[in-house]
């Protein structure tokens, strides 16, 4: 009987192994080998300075420090991924950092930096599914004031309007490349930031969050995002990593709050929180102890009236009184009968 049992257990174990192998394969995200096909119009920065080729921000945006009187040129790639020929309008416009985000201004609003930026070809007529290069020149005048400025280089298409279906809304789509240009001699001011505090909060709907207060202590704008890990929690639990909910862009000297939403149902109590924040190649890590207090909805409200312990005590006293009374009655009966 025992041998049969052992054999059954052994067979089951063998069956479990290949199952474990296939479970591992399906849980890992293996990228598909087919290239995704984009649609609409696209833009891409082609030339980046060799010195910054490892910086993830410099690979996507024009991030540079130039002395007054310098001119630089960068090639961009503009793609028409639609099924119709398109007339793509390429232009530079102002941008600003507000609400902790990099935002392009409406339409073709200009600022000082966008006035220094020009594109070789402002209209590119592209056949369906073709692309072309354009050359963007940034000419900093010799009398430019020092400081960092923001702009965007846009590639835009406009749907023809009004069209036969009588739709009321014309659609304009534009894709852009951010420009973070600092004017200063030499290499310009360095970038840096400090994580000043970590605070644990619980939103009204019960979702816990960690808020990291950050100060931009450098001379350049930073685009911050990162991850947070929790350890040494109640019952020695660990959790994470969790990611920041958005990219927070801070101008030099400003401060902002970075929110990292956590998992609902996270046990309340003390945790060690380690946050890694980075902007391009600049990275900082901070660890702090945070405490999640249970919300008023989660704390058990004591019922009005007497507590359970008091009821038990009263019950015992009542039993003792009844027992004593019965003992007295029995004694009296015995006396009467004798």
The nearest distance, CB 114 to other proteins, in angstroms, is 14
Phi, psi of 19, rounded to the nearest 5 degrees: -60, -40
Phi, psi of 13, rounded to the nearest 5 degrees: -60, -45
The nearest distance, CB 206 to other proteins, in angstroms, is 19
Instruction: Examine residue 241 and say whether the peptide bond preceding it is cis (omega within 30 degrees of 0).
Output: yes
Stretch that binds other proteins, among 26-34, 228-236, 288-296, 307-315 (CB under 8 A): 26-34
Stretch that binds other proteins, among 113-121, 161-169, 204-212, 263-271 (CB under 8 A): 161-169
Nearest to 284 by CA among 242, 239, 224: 224
Nearest to 79 by CA among 126, 135, 136: 126
Q: Is 244 an interacting residue with respect to other proteins (CB under 8 A)?
A: yes
Map the footprint of other proteins across residues 122-151, applying CB under 8 A: 131
Tokens 């192994």, residue located: 17
Tell me if residue 76 falls in helix, strand or coil. strand
Q: Is 264 an interacting residue with respect to other proteins (CB under 8 A)?
A: no
For other proteins (CB under 8 A), the number of binding residues is 78
Q: Is 13 an interacting residue with respect to other proteins (CB under 8 A)?
A: no
Stretch that binds other proteins, among 54-62, 114-122, 209-217, 329-337 (CB under 8 A): 54-62
Dist CA 59 CA 48 (whole Å)? 6
Q: Is 36 an interacting residue with respect to other proteins (CB under 8 A)?
A: yes
Q: Is 253 an interacting residue with respect to other proteins (CB under 8 A)?
A: no
Stretch that binds other proteins, among 69-77, 113-121, 266-274, 319-327 (CB under 8 A): 69-77
Dist CA 317 CA 255 (whole Å)? 65
Stretch that binds other proteins, among 13-21, 267-275, 298-306, 307-315 (CB under 8 A): 13-21
Helix (H), strand (E), coil (C) string for 83-102: CCCEEEEEEEEEEEEECCEE
The one among 53, 143, 301, 334 contacting other proteins by CB under 8 A: 53
Q: Among residues 161 and 201, whose Cβ is nearest to other proteins?
A: 161
329 contacts: CB under 8 Å, gap ≥ 6:
none
Q: Are 86 and 126 in contact (CB under 8 A)?
A: yes
The nearest distance, CB 118 to other proteins, in angstroms, is 16
Map the footprint of other proteins across residues 162-181, applying CB under 8 A: 162-163, 165-178
Residue 153 in tokens: 């280089």
The one among 57, 124, 208, 275 contacting other proteins by CB under 8 A: 57
């Amino acid at each position: 009987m025992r041998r049969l049992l052992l054999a059954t257990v052994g067979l089951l174990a063998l069956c479990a192994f290949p199952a474990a192998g296939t479970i591992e394969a399906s849980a890992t995200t293996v990228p598909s080998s087919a290239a995704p096909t984009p649609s609409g119009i696209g833009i891409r920065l082609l030339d980046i300075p060799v010195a910054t080729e490892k910086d993830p921000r410099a690979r996507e945006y024009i991030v540079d420090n130039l002395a007054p009187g310098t001119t630089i040129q960068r090639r961009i790639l503009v793609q028409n991924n639609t099924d119709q020929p398109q007339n793509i309008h390429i232009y530079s416009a102002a941008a600003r950092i507000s609400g902790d985000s990099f935002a392009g201004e409406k339409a073709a609003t200009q600022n000082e930096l966008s006035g220094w930026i020009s594109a070789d070809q402002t209209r590119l007529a592209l056949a369906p599914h073709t692309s072309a290069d354009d050359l963007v020149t940034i000419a900093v005048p010799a009398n430019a004031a020092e400081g960092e400025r923001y702009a965007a280089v846009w590639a835009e298409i406009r749907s023809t309007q009004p069209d036969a279906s009588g739709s009321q809304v014309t659609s304009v789509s534009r894709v852009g490349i951010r420009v973070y240009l600092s004017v200063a001699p030499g290499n310009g001011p360095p970038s840096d930031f400090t994580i000043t505090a970590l605070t644990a909060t619980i939103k009204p709907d019960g979702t816990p969050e960690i808020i990291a207060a950050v100060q931009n202590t450098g001379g350049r704008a930073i685009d911050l995002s990162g991850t947070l890990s929790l350890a040494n929690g109640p019952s020695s639990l660990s959790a994470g990593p969790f990611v920041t909910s958005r990219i927070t862009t801070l101008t030099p000297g400003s401060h902002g709050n970075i929110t990292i939403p956590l998992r609902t149902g996270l046990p309340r109590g003390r945790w060690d929180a380690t946050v890694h924040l980075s902007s391009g190649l600049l990275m900082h890590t901070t660890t702090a102890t945070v405490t999640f207090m249970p919300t008023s909805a989660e704390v058990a409200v004591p019922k009005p009236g007497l507590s359970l312990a008091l009821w038990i005590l009263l019950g015992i006293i009542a039993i003792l009184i009844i027992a004593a009374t019965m003992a007295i009655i029995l004694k009296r009966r015995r006396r009467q009968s004798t």
